[in-house]
Amino acid sequence: MNKAELIEHIATNADISKAAAARALDSIIGAVRTTLKKGGSVSLIGFGTFAVSKRAARKGRNPRTGMPIKIKAAKVPKFRPGKALKDALN
């Protein structure tokens, strides 16, 4: 499912226009992005938790040349599914 299909699904199930569904989805994504930028986490009970994890700097290897390279430390988004979501899949 892509973003357009998700917007259509939201509009159909919530009985709202596609434009309103698109604004709602963009608002949710923006709120998650803003919270993660500040270092916080977003928990949706029954769905899961979005959080920020730190990845340490490490050494890697350029696959083309085989030369060693340094990979910088980075912050990466993580998603942990909630119990209800896991149960729904099994």
pLDDT confidence of 56, banded at 50, 70, 90?
very high
pTM: 0.79
- The CA-atom distances, in angstroms, between 32 and each of 59, 65, 72 are 31, 39, 24
Cβ atoms 63, 73 nearer than 8 A: no
φ, ψ of residue 8 in degrees (nearest 5): -65, -40
Q: What is the DSSP letter of 55?
A: E
Portion of the chain with pLDDT greater than 90, in percent: 99
User: pLDDT value at position 4?
Assistant: 95
User: pLDDT value at position 61?
Assistant: 95
User: pLDDT value at position 68?
Assistant: 95
The C-alpha atoms of residue 6 and residue 82 are separated, in whole angstroms, by 20
User: pLDDT value at position 44?
Assistant: 95
User: pLDDT value at position 57?
Assistant: 97
Give the H/E segment covering residue 50. Answer: strand 48-55
- The CA-atom distances, in angstroms, between 78 and each of 4, 5, 40, 48, 67 are 23, 24, 12, 10, 30
Q: What is the overall mean pLDDT for the chain?
A: 95
